[in-house]
Structure 1
Amino acid sequence: MNNYEKVSTNNYYKTDLRITKTHRLLVRALVKLLEEKPFSKISVKDLCEEALVSRSGFYSHFEDKYHLLLYCLEDLKQEISDQLDFNDKTLLLDRVIDFIQSNDRLFHSLFNDDTSLELQKMLQSTFTGEIEEFLQVKQTIEKEEYPVSIPIMAVFLAGGIIQVIHWWVYSGFKEPKETIHQLLSQIM
């Protein structure tokens, strides 16, 4: 079971087993289809057929395939956040880098598709919020003032991290993950 299969059980839908089961089936279907073809070529019909879920069932849970993808990213973000130690900035980077490399076919499909820009915008929004929160906690713990506002730093850092990740995936992971980790740690 990979991380995307686990994410559908980590949120507030956990109380209703039918909802959890439907989400898990749709997440698995999305991951399987992404390994076969680009995101732009995946239709809701494809997702429903693969998951054995009706179209009305799909639409009772998600607005469209982008909402399903966002759901996957949000649950992953929550899973990583739950395990963060704000005193250790490298922990988040380790988890993100390991996740990307262990799901290389998924990220190749996402980043090499014409929806790559949309994915980058979703990641930008997610990373910016997480980095902003991280910087605020860090500033409180270390009692340190930053030279620019935290929101500006968060946007800048998130953009840089996403572009490095995009380059790393696009290059076929030519650099070892330790090198990417070291580079991103220095940026943070």
Structure 2
Amino acid sequence: MKYDLTKKPTRGAQRTLDAFFTTMLDLLSKKSFEHISVHEICEISNFPRATFYNYFDDKYDLVDYCWHVLATEIQVDQVTKVSSERDLVVYFDRIYDLFEAKQALLKGILKNNDFSGTLVNSFVNYLKTVIQHIFYESLCYSKPEIPTQLMADHCSETVMLILEWIFLKQQPTTKDQAHQYLETLLG
């Protein structure tokens, strides 16, 4: 990503980033990613193309930024060690709540973008990477015969499988049912 996410943005930079973020998500809920242009993003955001290119390399870079902003709502900075995979329900709930809060946005995106297309795959892959990081950093796994990274990968794949089923494939499921799926799939 062109913009350095590790530094705190100025108020002006934050306003600009917020405008591009909001515009991109609004456009994604109205049309396919392939039909969105940088020109259109700039026109709706009311910023010149030069400003866009000060922050992003292209619309793919902007969409990665959008995924980053959404993923921060999982509160990765509040990762703590957990004692078992059962305690991963706390993190599952954070992610579930994010999907639930953004359900209208997800439905709009899925209405205009193919489930197996580039955009949805980019979202799923980005979020999967974030979840793998959370689980790797937080998992205190008591079985030394299974490497922590392997267990973190397994847990994140399982969590994403359940969330994709519920929210992206739009299978109505309560949080309690989702917990049951998680418990069954993780054993």
- Pick the TM interval, shorter chain: 0.7 to 0.9
Among candidates 5, 14, 17, match of residue 8 of structure 2: 14
Alignment-derived partner of residue 64 in structure 2: 70
Q: Which runs of 5+ in 1 are unaligned?
A: 1-10
Q: How many Å apart are 1:184 and its aligned residue?
A: 2.7
Q: Using the TM superposition, give the Cα deviation of residue 110 of structure 1 relative to its aligned residue in structure 2, in angstroms.
A: 4.5
Instruction: Give the whole-Å Cα distance in 2 for the aligned partners of 1:96 and 1:26.
Output: 24
Corresponding residue number in structure 2 for 1:153: 151
Structure 2 residue identity aligned to 1:99: L
Deviation at residue 100 of structure 1 after TM alignment = 0.7
Q: Which moved more, 1:77-86 or 1:17-26?
A: 77-86
Letter in 2 for 1:105: A
Match of 2:92 in 1: 93
For 1:104, the aligned partner's letter is Q
TM-score normalised by length of structure 1: 0.76
Gap change, CA 1:15 and 1:118, over 3 Å in 2: closer
Query: What is the TM-score when the length of structure 2 is the normalising length?
Result: 0.77
**Corresponding residue for 2:36?**
42
Q: What is the CA distance between 1:43 and its match in structure 2?
A: 2.2
Q: Determine helix, strand or coil for the equivalent of 1:14.
A: coil
How many residues align structurally? 172
Query: Over residues 78-119 of structure 1, what are the superposed CA-to-partner deviations in whole Å (9 max), with x where a residue is unaligned?
Result: 441134443453222112111111211322344553222232
Q: Percent identity?
A: 25
SS at match of 1:158: helix
Which residue, 16, 19, 31 being the options, matches 1:25? 19
**Are 2:115 and 1:120 aligned?**
no
Which one has a larger percent helix, Structure 1 or Structure 2? 1
Structure 2 runs not aligned, ≥5 long: none
Residue pair 1:62, 1:68 contacting (<8 A) in 2 also: yes
CA RMSD of aligned residues (A): 2.5
CA deviation vs aligned residue, 1:16-71 (integer Å, no higher than 9, x gap): 12211100111111121122123333222222122112111111101222222222
Return closer, same or farther for 1:85/1:167 CA change in 2, 3 Å cut-off. Answer: same
- Indicate conservation of the 8 Å contact 2:81/2:138, yes or no: yes
